[in-house]
Amino acid sequence: MTCPEELDPTRLLTPRAREVLAAARAVLERQGWEALTMRTLADELDIAAPSLYKHFASKEALRGQLAALALKEFGEAVRPVTTVAALVRRYRDVATAHPQLYRLSTSGPLDRAALPPGLEDWSGSPFLEATGDPHRAQALWAAVHGMVVLELDGRFPTGAAPEATWRELVRHFS
Amino acid sequence: MTCPEELDPTRLLTPRAREVLAAARAVLERQGWEALTMRTLADELDIAAPSLYKHFASKEALRGQLAALALKEFGEAVRPVTTVAALVRRYRDVATAHPQLYRLSTSGPLDRAALPPGLEDWSGSPFLEATGDPHRAQALWAAVHGMVVLELDGRFPTGAAPEATWRELVRHFS
DNA sequence: AAAGTTGGCTAACAGCGTTAGCCCACGAAC
DNA sequence: GTTCGTGGGCTAACGCTGTTAGCCAACTTT
């Protein structure tokens, strides 16, 4: 299920900027946000750190583009929507498959001005589709997100959330 | 509702370390984690930054103590437990009253080794009390946490989560 | 041929967490 | 009553961070 072209956050980037973004993503997924410094990123591309500023105004801007990219990819990965249970399953799987990207795109403030208009709504719409009601959709999204972040951060006593907890959550929203 | 003395995370700290911790908390709540640097904290106490290391081994250790403190205080603030609805209401209120402390204590990894044994369980037990079932408790906790962090990060289109979404969530768990 | 754009470079700065090494005040021990 | 350990401060400095300034080569457009 692919994202409408006009929502592609990399649409306005130069080819070189797209390469930088891809490298940033690679470092992020491989080593985490902490390890993604302007210098390590520059090393990955075999250029000097200040040269990165030819493509992104700041590290924060780069972060924003990564977040936008994640919004798009997760939105795609979760489609097409069938049942609540299937949506939750897919959401969980894709988030845990890309934990760093997920965390980046879902925690901390989101610079909406830097997002293609409509992308955020589009990425959230599967929950609306699955539940049929905006508030139910928000509540489900929040619940699933809560489970995922607690799981990623190892906040459950068992490490990952027990299957039974996931089932319980799905049950409440089905 | 007060925390058992043996779970008090500041129990083993020297008086001076407690003062440092209190100052750190003040800066954190006033200006956020980003602004809480070893130097700004030292300024707050009218000492030099390296002197802080007489009381805490690292900034990470200090962060851990702040998280432990938050666990204790939030655990207290949410008691005594009556209904699911009341628990959710209290949880939400106390979290939004201390957003920085809440975020600090609930996101990112938690250094359990530095926590008084039992504190984490104690802080989570209200959810068990309210739901009567461990998996229901975890699911509810995750859901409420998800709502709170999305709210704190301004991730809902309206800024805060709509009342109706909170009601929806409570309804599913009541 | 001229001009502008793209994408690189080095040198440097301020702020970050942190370490090393020194010093002084105070309470206990010989 | 002096010695000694300890608690709590200090300055100087290091390596790392994001970022700026200023320069330069190549390529494209006029």
For A1, A20, A25, A114, B153, the CA distances from A46, given in Å and listed in that order, are 35, 11, 16, 27, 35
Does the CB of B13 sit below 7 A from strand D?
no
Q: Which nucleotides of C are covered by protein (CB under 7 A)?
A: 6-12, 15-21
As a rounded value in angstroms, the CA-to-C1' distance for A112 and D26 is 37
Burial of A22 (0-12, 13-18, 19+ CB in 10 A): middle
As a rounded value in angstroms, the CA-to-C1' distance for B38 and C22 is 21
- Which pLDDT belongs to residue A157? 84
pLDDT tier for residue A22 given thresholds of 50, 70 and 90: very high
Structure tokens at A126: 């599967």
- Which pLDDT belongs to residue A5? 85
Structure tokens at A48: 């000097």
The partner residue sitting opposite A169, judged by closest CB among B143, B150, B167, is B143
What number is the average pLDDT over the span A149-159? 92
Residues 3-42 of A with CB under 7 A from strand D: 36-40
- Which pLDDT belongs to residue A139? 98
- Which pLDDT belongs to residue B98? 98
- Which pLDDT belongs to residue A112? 95
- In a 13 Å sphere around the CA of B148, the CA atoms on its Cβ side amount to 29
Strands (E), chain B: none
pLDDT tier for residue B16 given thresholds of 50, 70 and 90: very high
pLDDT tier for residue A1 given thresholds of 50, 70 and 90: confident
What number is the average pLDDT over the span B134-162? 94
Q: Cα separation of A107 and A153, whole Å?
A: 12
What number is the average pLDDT over the span A66-81? 97
pLDDT digits (tens, 9 = 90+) for B90-139: 999 999 999 999 999 999 999 999 999 999 999 999 999 999 999 999 99
SS3 at position B115: coil
Q: Cα separation of B26 and B119, whole Å?
A: 22
For the beta carbon of residue A74, count every other beta carbon within 10 angstroms.
21
pLDDT digits (tens, 9 = 90+) for A92-147: 999 999 999 999 999 999 999 999 999 999 999 999 999 999 999 999 999 999 99
Mean pLDDT for chain B overall: 96
Does the CB of B42 sit below 7 A from strand D?
yes
Residues 97-126 of B with CB under 8 A from A: 106-110, 121
On the question of pLDDT at A159 being above 90, the answer is no
What are the domain boundaries of chain B? 5-172
Residue listed under structure tokens 């998800």? B146
Residue listed under structure tokens 């990564």? A66
pLDDT tier for residue B3 given thresholds of 50, 70 and 90: confident
Strands (E), A56-166: none
The partner residue sitting opposite B135, judged by closest CB among A108, A141, A164, is A164
On the question of pLDDT at A42 being above 80, the answer is yes
Q: Cα separation of B1 and B78, whole Å?
A: 8
- Tell me the β-bridge partners of B159: B156
- Residue-wise burial string across A127-166, b where 16 or more C-beta atoms lie within 10 A, e elsewhere: bbebbeeebbbbbbbbbbbbbbbbbbbebbeeeebbeebb
Under DSSP, the state recorded for B156 is: B
Virtual CA dihedral for A159, A162, A168, A174, nearest 10 degrees? 90
- Residue-wise burial string across B144-162, b where 16 or more C-beta atoms lie within 10 A, e elsewhere: bbbbbbbbbbebbeeeebb
On the question of pLDDT at B4 being above 90, the answer is no
pLDDT digits (tens, 9 = 90+) for B39-53: 999 999 999 999 999
Q: Please determine, looking at this structure, whether the domain spanning B5-172 carries the CATH number 1.10.357.10.
A: yes
Considering only CA atoms, give the Rg of chain A: 17
On the question of pLDDT at B160 being above 80, the answer is no
pLDDT tier for residue B58 given thresholds of 50, 70 and 90: very high
For the beta carbon of residue A45, count every other beta carbon within 10 angstroms.
18
The answer to whether the CB of A152 falls within 8 A of the CB of A102 is: yes
* A45–chain B Cβ distance below 8 A for any pair: no
For the beta carbon of residue B97, count every other beta carbon within 10 angstroms.
11
pLDDT tier for residue B2 given thresholds of 50, 70 and 90: confident
What percentage of chain B exceeds 70 in pLDDT? 100
